[in-house]
């Protein structure tokens, strides 16, 4: 059910409110362009600045718009175990197909605390759980041994979005976990190498504007067509790099605004990109062929 190019979809805003109509249109855009699954309320969806009601509503809008045509992987993690359980139960009841659980941030729990946190969330619902390992934003790495322990003890913890940037760690997870444990790249630039060492796809930022190309890269790797995958990878790479010249999701939202896909509105403490970096972003879009 979960494989290939899964988009970490942006949350479009209009006059400081969630633009539900536009969000539904973006879901439709992805369904038509080969995206494998939708992730609302991830990092790219600005989940830290959504109110609890907005968070729940964004997930509901994606479920309603998808109408069971594409899986919805709801971002329902938190640094509060009780809040993560509450959000995950809501997503399950609303019809989400699975949940993405980010490493609890700021608290800096030890590995045992991480294990107990994810185990408690997994036991609160029946839907599948994907762990989200991103130490750069959370100050804690979920060690491969902890991931393997969770995979063994919790039947519905079925995979991980690995955003450590370490292929050594990805390889260790592949070695320690069951063969059917799913590993997704958490970095567009590492989709190809992650799949080469046993990953099954990517939870993508660049797919917000290039869903077909990202899906095609994953499909080529799945088929063992390395040459095609490499061609797509190297064409995408300069634009992928441009999407991180400032903190995600500022560049991808700015790009979507430039391309007329949705408003580029961000919520504080994220601020608009500098003029210099907007020019760099436009150059990357132009060089790719998305902008004249």
Residues forming the active site:
132, 161
User: Cα–Cα distance between 19 and 13 in angstroms, integer?
Assistant: 5
- pLDDT at 266 > cutoff 90: yes
pLDDT range class, residue 1, cuts 50, 70, 90: confident
Residue range 229-238: average pLDDT?
Answer: 98
Q: Around Cβ 4, how many Cβ atoms within 10 Å? A: 23
- Cα(first)–Cα(last) distance of the chain, in Å? 38
Residue range 121-139: average pLDDT?
Answer: 97
Peptide bond into 269 cis (omega under 30): yes
Helices (H), 190-274: 191-196, 211-223, 226-242, 250-258
Indicate the pairing of strand 4-8 with strand 37-39: parallel
- pLDDT at 160 > cutoff 90: yes
pTM score, whole prediction = 0.95
> Per-residue pLDDT tens for 8-45?
999 999 999 999 999 999 999 999 999 999 999 999 99
In order of start, what are the domains of the chain with their CATH numbers? Answer: 4-224 (3.20.20.70)
User: Cα–Cα distance between 268 and 279 in angstroms, integer?
Assistant: 22
Residues with Cβ within 8 Å of 237's Cβ and at least 6 positions away in sequence, in order, are 189
- pLDDT at 292 > cutoff 90: no
- pLDDT at 278 > cutoff 90: yes
Residue whose token pair is 């059910």? 1
Decide: 150 and 111 in contact? Cβ < 8 Å.
Answer: no
Label residues 254-274 b or e (16+ Cβ within 10 Å = b): bbbbbeebbebbbeeebeebe
Q: Report the DSSP beta bridge partners of residue 18.
A: 13
Question: What is the strand order of the sheet 201-204 is part of?
Answer: 37-39, 4-8, 201-204, 182-185, 157-162, 129-133, 98-102, 73-75
Residue range 260-288: average pLDDT?
Answer: 98
pLDDT > 70 in the chain, percent: 100
Residue range 133-139: average pLDDT?
Answer: 95
Residue range 112-138: average pLDDT?
Answer: 97
SS3 119: helix
- pLDDT at 164 > cutoff 90: yes
User: Cα–Cα distance between 270 and 258 in angstroms, integer?
Assistant: 18
Decide: 192 and 218 in contact? Cβ < 8 Å.
Answer: no
**CA-based angle 200:5:121, to the nearest 5?**
70
Residue range 119-140: average pLDDT?
Answer: 97
Mean pLDDT taken over the chain: 98
């Amino acid at each position: 059910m979960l494989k290939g190019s899964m988009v970490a979809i942006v949350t479009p805003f209009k006059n400081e409110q969630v633009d539900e109509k536009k969000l539904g249109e973006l879901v439709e855009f992805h369904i038509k362009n080969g995206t494998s699954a939708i992730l609302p309320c991830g990092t790219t969806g600005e989940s830290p600045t959504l109110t609890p009601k907005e968070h729940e509503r964004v997930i509901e809008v994606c479920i309603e718009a998808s109408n069971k045509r594409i899986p919805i992987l709801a971002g329902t993690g938190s640094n509060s175990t009780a809040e993560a359980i509450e959000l995950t139960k809501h997503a399950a009841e609303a019809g989400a197909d699975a949940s993405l659980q980010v490493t609890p941030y700021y608290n800096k729990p030890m590995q045992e605390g991480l294990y107990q946190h994810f185990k408690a969330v997994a036991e609160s619902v029946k839907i599948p759980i994907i762990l989200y390992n991103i130490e750069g934003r959370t100050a804690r790495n979920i060690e491969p041994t902890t991931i393997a322990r969770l995979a063994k003890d919790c039947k519905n913890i079925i995979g991980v979005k690995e955003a450590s940037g370490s292929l050594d760690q990805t390889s260790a997870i592949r070695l320690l976990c069951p063969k059917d444990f799913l590993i997704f790249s958490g970095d567009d630039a590492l989709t190809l190498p992650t799949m080469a060492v046993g990953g099954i796809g990517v939870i993508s930022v660049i797919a917000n504007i290039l869903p077909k190309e990202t899906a095609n890269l994953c499909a080529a790797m799945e088929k063992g067509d390395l040459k095609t995958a490499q061609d797509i990878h190297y064409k995408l790479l300069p634009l992928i790099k441009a999407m991180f010249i400032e903190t995600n999701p500022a560049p991808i939202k700015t790009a979507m605004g430039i391309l007329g896909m949705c408003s580029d509105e961000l919520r504080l403490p994220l601020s608009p990109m500098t003029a210099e970096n907007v020019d760099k972003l436009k150059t990357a879009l132009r060089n790719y062929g998305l902008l004249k």
